[in-house]
Structure 1
Amino acid sequence: MFVIAASLGVMVTIFVLAIMYLFKEDETVDDRLKKYTGSEDEKRLREEELDESFWERVLKPVVEKVSTFFIKFTPSGIKDNLRRRLILAGNPLGLGVKEFLALQGSLILILPGGLFITLFFLGAEAKVLFTFSLLTAISALIIPIFLLGKKISERQSQIQRSLPDVLDLLTVSVEAGLGFDAALVKVVDKVSGPISEEFERLLQEIRMGKPRRDAMRDLGKRTNVDDLTKFITSIVQADKLGVSIGKVLRVQSDQIRQRRRQRAEATAMKAPVKMLLPLILFIFPTIFIVLLGPAVIKIMNSFSGMN
């Protein structure tokens, strides 16, 4: 009986192990097939690719290839200057040097080519074709640079206009007992615009371990606004000498408001000079026509009556 029971136990154990082995072998084969066919990975990659935008799937690879071509033939000095101007503009649309050069190069290739083909099918002469294509290529080269310069001016103007109010908020926050970094957090929460974005980046750099003085100097280089640069210099000196930041903020706020008032007065003084040219070209001739027109007509009628 013992031998029979032991034999049955061994047989059952072997049977169970055989079934487990068969199932394990099937699972291994399926996994191996999935590994070689890559059906799940391929499906997942296809879904991730379809979830991306048209820019990421189609346009961005083309832009990268075009930018690689143009970056090779662009001098390093021009690239450094362009990188600095893009930083001053706040990197609009997330454009870097490669993307900007690719955009500029694409415009130089596409616009003149499209105009050339259009004029060719319209039957234009060869001189007209090459002249207009050349002018279009020059325009495609200049327009992105002009728009970038305009963006820089607008951003600096926004920072300069909002700086006095931001300094008032900083002054009130510091005088209420907050630290300078906490006051900057308050500004980021309450104020919107480029200056808030720059202060937020300043706080991120400080949290990552960058010294406050270096981070604030980099802020001045990124914006290149005179009032903000003077404010940063005053804060750095106060931090170095141990002067009360609240008093420095109060003084800087008053000085910046005074400088803004002076700029407004200077702009108002320039208004008569700027109005002189439209007066001479457009308004004075109209006044002369209205005032002297009837007299000239009467004189002409009197001379015609005498004849």
Structure 2
Amino acid sequence: MLIPLLAALLTGASIFLLVLGLSGALQPETEDVSERIARYGTRQVSSLQELELEEPFTERVLRPLIRSMAQAISRFTPQQVLENQRALLEAAGNPNNWTPADFLGVRGLAAIVLGALPGILLFLSGASFLRVIGFSAGFALLGFLLPGIWINRKIQDRRKQILKTLPDALDLMTISVEAGLGFDQAMSKVAEKWGDNELAKEFNRVITEIRLGKTRREALRDLAERTQVDEIRGFVAAVIQADQLGVSIAKVLRTQSEQMRIRRRQRAEEQAQQASIKMLFPLVFLIFPAIFIVLLGPAIPRIMDALGAL
């Protein structure tokens, strides 16, 4: 009884530590050059080993391990799989600036760690060979699937944030265009106003791509492909069609903003209608049993005494 409990506790702790470590393992380096010079150039270092030991654990161990795992996996991975992983990372906003090979390395490392831990524990407890292999394979599959579940969650959260801010962004673009600014300058205004917003980041990327030589049509199509949001696809299609036919961009933006607000109101009404059904399960399984215990609890001894007397 002690061995399964210990295995469960260690497995849960390993999952927590693995997710915590991977979340910061491949974070982009933001240290300025001047800070690095001040850090290493103004003091004497006795050896290169001492300098390396001052780096955090993620930089010394976890990052090289993920990189090597990514290189090993990418050699045997088809190009189509890498492109699919790239599309997922683009839809999630490129978390931690991971490449498709890095993400596959994270999945492979998670599978190895979660697969090896219960296998070692069961082997030390004297379990059968088939049981060790079965548990190791199951936990390895779980470790491989967990980063995919996490990235899908990131995609859903990012889509919700984009949908929430899109009508307000279109209103600001409409006011800017009607005031005399161009379409590109209006997108820059949105990116300037909401710098930390996911939609503002995408608009800023579109402006950057246009400045680097990509046409507006191609940049907008790439925007729709990256976000994978139906409302963004409709907005991009309307803007491209207006550009081709010579229709006023201001009218198109005003129409699009009104439609986005109607859709946002419809989504809010839909969620309000679903609230009563979602509340049914916690009411039946959590709240009602507690109420029954409080109300009927004092009467149970009297009922038992009455039944015993009969």
Query: Taking structure 1 as the reference length, what is the TM-score of the superposition?
Result: 0.74
Letter in 2 for 1:274: K
In structure 2, do the counterparts of structure 1 residues 197 and 53 end up closer, same or farther at CA, with 3 Å as the change threshold?
Answer: farther
Q: Which moved more, 1:203-212 or 1:140-149?
A: 203-212
Which residue of the partner structure matches residue 95 of structure 1? Answer: 98
In structure 2, do the counterparts of structure 1 residues 276 and 62 end up closer, same or farther at CA, with 3 Å as the change threshold?
Answer: closer
Rg larger for? 1
**What is the DSSP-based 3-state SS (H/G/I as helix, E as strand, rest coil) of the residue aligned with 2:180?**
coil
In structure 2, do the counterparts of structure 1 residues 199 and 287 end up closer, same or farther at CA, with 3 Å as the change threshold?
Answer: same
Paired residues in the alignment total 261
Shift of 1:69: 2.3
Aligned partner of 2:285 among 269, 281, 284: 281
Q: Which moved more, 1:273-282 or 1:142-151?
A: 273-282
Which residue of the partner structure matches residue 198 of structure 2? Answer: 194
Which residue of the partner structure matches residue 215 of structure 1? Answer: 219
In the alignment, the residues of structure 2 paired with residue 55 and residue 273 of structure 1 have an alpha-carbon distance, to the nearest angstrom, of 45
In the alignment, the residues of structure 2 paired with residue 147 and residue 153 of structure 1 have an alpha-carbon distance, to the nearest angstrom, of 10
Q: Which moved more, 1:294-303 or 1:200-209?
A: 294-303
**Any residues of structure 2 matched to 1:86-125 within 5 Å, and which?**
86-121=89-124
**Any residues of structure 2 matched to 1:54-133 within 5 Å, and which?**
62-121=65-124, 126=129, 128-133=131-136
**Any residues of structure 2 matched to 1:286-297 within 5 Å, and which?**
286-294=290-298, 297=301
CA-to-aligned-CA distance 1:30-59 (integer Å, 9 cap, x gap): xxxxxxxxxxxxxxxx9xx99999877765
In structure 2, do the counterparts of structure 1 residues 288 and 207 end up closer, same or farther at CA, with 3 Å as the change threshold?
Answer: same
CA-to-aligned-CA distance 1:177-235 (integer Å, 9 cap, x gap): 11111111111111122111111110111112222112111100100112222111111
**What is the DSSP-based 3-state SS (H/G/I as helix, E as strand, rest coil) of the residue aligned with 2:93?**
coil
Q: Does 1:172 align with 2:170?
A: no
**What is the DSSP-based 3-state SS (H/G/I as helix, E as strand, rest coil) of the residue aligned with 2:207?**
helix
Q: Does 1:237 align with 2:237?
A: no
Q: Does 1:146 align with 2:127?
A: no
In the alignment, the residues of structure 2 paired with residue 172 and residue 51 of structure 1 have an alpha-carbon distance, to the nearest angstrom, of 53
The CA RMSD over aligned residues, in Å, is 3.0
In the alignment, the residues of structure 2 paired with residue 160 and residue 208 of structure 1 have an alpha-carbon distance, to the nearest angstrom, of 28
Letter in 2 for 1:304: G
Q: Does 1:253 align with 2:257?
A: yes
Contact 2:82 2:101 in 1 (8 A): no
Which residue of the partner structure matches residue 6 of structure 2? Answer: none
In the alignment, the residues of structure 1 paired with residue 235 and residue 253 of structure 2 have an alpha-carbon distance, to the nearest angstrom, of 8
Which residue of the partner structure matches residue 185 of structure 2? Answer: 182
Give unpaired runs (5+ residues) of structure 1.
1-45
Shift of 1:249: 1.4
Give unpaired runs (5+ residues) of structure 2.
1-48
Shift of 1:61: 5.1
In the alignment, the residues of structure 2 paired with residue 298 and residue 58 of structure 1 have an alpha-carbon distance, to the nearest angstrom, of 66
Contact 2:242 2:248 in 1 (8 A): yes
Contact 2:110 2:144 in 1 (8 A): yes
**Any residues of structure 2 matched to 1:7-46 within 5 Å, and which?**
none
In structure 2, do the counterparts of structure 1 residues 251 and 148 end up closer, same or farther at CA, with 3 Å as the change threshold?
Answer: same
Shift of 1:72: 3.3
Aligned partner of 2:272 among 265, 268, 276: 268
> Identity over the aligned pairs, expressed in percent?
46
In structure 2, do the counterparts of structure 1 residues 50 and 276 end up closer, same or farther at CA, with 3 Å as the change threshold?
Answer: closer
Shift of 1:96: 0.9
Shift of 1:113: 2.6
Query: Taking structure 2 as the reference length, what is the TM-score of the superposition?
Result: 0.74
Shift of 1:125: 5.2
In the alignment, the residues of structure 2 paired with residue 111 and residue 303 of structure 1 have an alpha-carbon distance, to the nearest angstrom, of 54
**What is the DSSP-based 3-state SS (H/G/I as helix, E as strand, rest coil) of the residue aligned with 1:111?**
helix
Which residue of the partner structure matches residue 38 of structure 1? Answer: none
**What is the DSSP-based 3-state SS (H/G/I as helix, E as strand, rest coil) of the residue aligned with 1:71?**
helix
Judging by fraction of residues, say which structure has more helix: 1
In the alignment, the residues of structure 2 paired with residue 139 and residue 274 of structure 1 have an alpha-carbon distance, to the nearest angstrom, of 28
In the alignment, the residues of structure 2 paired with residue 303 and residue 51 of structure 1 have an alpha-carbon distance, to the nearest angstrom, of 74
In the alignment, the residues of structure 2 paired with residue 200 and residue 50 of structure 1 have an alpha-carbon distance, to the nearest angstrom, of 39
